Amino acid sequence: MRDADQSAALRDQVAAAHAAGGSLEICGGGSKRFYGRESDTPGPVLETVGHRGVVHYAPTELVVTARAGTPIREINAVLSENGQQLPFEPPELDGDATVGGTLAAAFSGPARPWCGAVRDHVLGTRVINGRGKLLRFGGEVMKNVAGYDVSRLMVGAMGTLGLVLEASLKVLPKPEREVTLAFHMERSDALVFMNGLGDRPLPLTGAVFHGGIVYLRLAGSAAAVSVAMSELSGEELPSSDAIWRSLREFEHPFFDTKLPVWRIALPALAEPELPGEVLIDWGGGQWWLRSDAPVATIRDPVSALGGHATLFRGGDRGGEVFHPLPPAMAALQERIRRAFDPAGVFNPGRMVAVAG
């Protein structure tokens, strides 16, 4: 597909829907259709894949700006030619994942605890709000505190605050060397071990526990990696990349299941008893659970430890797939949504059920 700027056409579609009191389902490459709530009142699809292309890339500025429909795979390729990468390691999902969808769903890969999440790398956006207005927030510079940080607010909003047309993302150099080490241990020990790695500055960019094994990814300068390797010992895997790629792309055998898959975010060292098999990523911060147990048996122990549980894939997509908010917070977030999209044009019900 060729690069094209469809901002004006997209804006006209939104403005028309707003005027007619209609709604729209924003869709990029469709790679995350499985995620979020099923819409209560599905409207016509607003396609962003035609609105694509890298608009500006300046390696020494550490920033890339691309249109919403640009595949993440394409961005990765462009950056790679210059020895750079997206530090938050978003999934490519067979090449279908786009910039817009990555921001909307806030999918960050295994490097997240050490290199930051999607939101940490968003420097600016162009968006269309629910009134059909084309707006620009932030920019391409590293530091910018003029106005509220609307760009970051778009991240994880599932399109309900606006259509992200374009995003400027901070990029970083690729590490010189990457290795993966394996360590055999019990789960509780693994949590302590992974958490303890943060006590000293190690070149760490991955820590996952599954099937009685902790896998660590070390990435950085060749010198730093080899020192860390000898300090940590552990058994070096022949292919450093395979496990991280499989986690990032949800291709790890753990995800090959008909059971509902839950994503659970937890504070360091929290160890809830959960009804099903788990895989622990992000050094203990992100747990994956395969389970069709009742929702309360999953959310209650997680809430008690200060975490939250998302029904990531499968299960009841018409229910509350995102962890419910306390009433005052839910009310405030609904007011925020209306501030951006008063008539409810975008993805109604994709995050929370449409009120009344």
Partner 1 sequence: MTSSAPTTKSAAPELLRELAGVLPAANVLSRPSELLPYECDGLSAYRQRPMVVVLPETVEQVARILAICRRRGLPVVARGAGTGLSGGALPLVEGVLMVLAKFNRILELDPVRRTARVQPGVRNLAISEAAAPHGLYYAPDPSSQIACSIGGNVAENSGGVHCLKYGLTVHNILKLEVVTIDGDRLTLGSNAPDSPGYDMMAAMTGSEGLLGIVVEITVRLLPLPTHTSLVLAAFDDVESAGAAVGGVIAAGIIPAGLEMMDNFAIRATEDFAHCGYPVDAEAILLCEVDGTAEDTREQLQRVAAVMREHGATEVRVARDEAERLLFWKGRKMAFPAMGRISPDYYCIDGTIPRDQLPRVLGKMKEWSAEFGLRVANVFHAGDGNLHPLILYDANQPGELERTEAFAGKILDLCVEVGGTITGEHGVGVEKINQMCTQFASDELEQFHALKEAFDPRGLLNPGKAVPTLQRCAEFGAMHVHRGELPFPELERF
Helix (H) or strand (E) holding 182: strand 177-184
Q: Choose, by CB under 8 A, the member of 265, 293, 343, 354 that binds partner 1.
A: 265
Q: What is the CA radius of gyration of the chain?
A: 21
Size of residue set near partner 1 by CB under 8 A: 82
Q: How far is the CB of 2 from partner 1 (least distance, A)?
A: 26
Cα separation, 343 vs 305, in Å, equals: 37
Q: Which of 54, 185, 259, 336 lies at the binding interface for partner 1 (CB under 8 A)?
A: 336
Least distance (Å) from partner 1 to the CB of residue 1? 28
CB nearer to partner 1: give 6 or 65. 65
Does residue number 332 form part of the binding site for partner 1 (CB under 8 A)?
Answer: yes
Positions 172 through 201 that interact with partner 1 (CB under 8 A) = 172-174, 195, 198-201
* Eight-class DSSP state of 157: S
Which helix (H) or strand (E) is 131 found in, with range? none
Stretch of 181-189, 207-215, 248-256, 260-268 lying at the interface with partner 1 (CB under 8 A): 260-268
Of 54 and 172, the one with the shorter C-beta distance to partner 1 is: 172
CA gap 218, 207 in Å, rounded: 9
Among 228, 243, 247, 298, binds partner 1 (CB under 8 A): 228
Tell whether residue 304 is a contact of partner 1 (CB under 8 A): no
Q: Does 322 bind partner 1 (CB under 8 A)?
A: yes
With respect to partner 1, which residue has the nearer C-beta, 71 or 90?
Answer: 90
Choose which of 66, 72, 105, 155 interacts with partner 1 (CB under 8 A). Answer: 155
- Coil, strand or helix at 196: helix
Residue 282: name the closest of 122, 115, 104 by CA: 115
Determine the 3-state secondary structure of 205 from DSSP.
strand
Give the rounded distance of the alpha carbon of 345 from its chain centre: 23
Helix intervals (H) in 22-154: 72-81, 99-105, 112-115, 150-154
User: What is the C-alpha separation between 248 and 213, in angstroms, rounded?
Assistant: 18
- Does residue number 248 form part of the binding site for partner 1 (CB under 8 A)? no
Contact pick of 59, 275, 276, 315 for partner 1 (by CB under 8 A): 59
Q: Does position 266 bind partner 1 by CB under 8 A?
A: yes
Which listed residue (73, 119, 177, 317) binds partner 1 by CB under 8 A?
119
What are 26's two structure tokens?
A: 């924003």
Position 27 contacts partner 1 (CB under 8 A): no
Q: Which of 106, 229, 259, 293 binds partner 1 (CB under 8 A)?
A: 106
CA distances from 323 to 38, 42, 303, 306, 307 (A): 15, 22, 9, 12, 9
- Restricting to residues 282-301, name those near partner 1 by CB under 8 A: 282, 285-286
